[in-house]
Structure 1
């Protein structure tokens, strides 16, 4: 009888977890945030405990799984609504290589060693650090690489092609503007030229080194 209970619980919890993970979103495993990863581990642990202890009421363990599911949904919504919370939970992308020069300070702060760096450069088919215009460590731990050839097309040898988000959820990202050599006043003037006067209406605005803007405004409810 105990074996039937284990089989029943395993199938039932499998279906429950399948539904929960489907509702949590469509991120790949390599793209999970720290919060997502913690929640997934705790839910999996609760599921195993429920299967291994058939004498205990299943509702007891399902309650814990449901609570973790609710916590994950709340944190996901907070990440969507608040950039500060998103940075606190997921961190920020870090520039490890700029114009062929490794940023030793950011490497140490990210606890990233040269073996990791060279390994990811090889995965991006880059032979030498000197060939890299920008190497950006994403919040997922993956290194995004823009080579000097990609950033310097024949007709625009001096153009910086790295694109930065300068407005997110209606808030100006002054740090990114500074990296590009622009100011908030310049940004407002450029937005005004294309008919955008309310920053709060902008979902995302990106700018490259040439000053070219891409603007996506929030959907009107």
Structure 2
């Protein structure tokens, strides 16, 4: 239960090191977009890569070459999906969701909150984490495609800080 064999530990060290190096190489070749979390699809790929790495490390029945191929396949498929999304609006609509407005001018949009299965308490937590003390100061709360909530403060919140609604001209 606590110790199986020195050979098992050696395998984890050797395979773990080589699998890690292979994953870093794959990620460097594939570019920054591979690990972004711009939408739910990207998050799934990131989690799947971690799961694949863990399986290669701990399962004696998975050879290193198979694990590296699996990680490369996940990155390749993610590359193909994002490549198609950039070039085809129809394909992009198929695989990506749209941001959803949850609050506008300090008022909850009940239909949007209900359809996205978000609670008022979760929106309020996002407001607190963004330093909002009064919902009247909120221009909008948007549920982004990656599941995060963007809080846009009203234009009069702080005249020294430009927001997406008040961009200063040079």
TM over 0.5: same fold? yes
Shorter-chain TM range is 0.7 to 0.9
Instruction: Identify the match of residue 132 of structure 2 among 114, 121, 126.
Output: 126
Measure how far apart 1:162 and its partner are: 4.2
Q: How does 1:72-111 map to 2 (within 5 A)?
A: 72-111=78-117
Gaps of 5+ in 2: 1-6
Q: Please provide the CA RMSD for this pair.
A: 3.0
Measure how far apart 1:125 and its partner are: 1.7
TM-score (norm 2): 0.75
- 1:17 and 2:23 are equivalent in the alignment: yes
CA distance in 1, matches of 2:128, 2:62: 51
Instruction: Identify the match of residue 62 of structure 1 among 36, 57, 68.
Output: 68
| Deviations, residues 9-50 of structure 1 (Å, cap 9, x unaligned) | 110001111122334443697834222222222222222222
Instruction: Identify the match of residue 56 of structure 2 among 25, 36, 50.
Output: 50
- 1:114 and 2:123 are equivalent in the alignment: no
Measure how far apart 1:122 and its partner are: 1.2
TM-score (norm 1): 0.59
Gaps of 5+ in 1: 154-160, 164-207, 209-221
Instruction: Identify the match of residue 9 of structure 2 among 3, 12, 16.
Output: 3
The structure whose residues are more often strand, as a share, is 1
Bigger Rg, structure 1 or 2: 1
Q: How many residues align?
A: 157
Q: Which residue of 2 aligns with 1:136?
A: 142
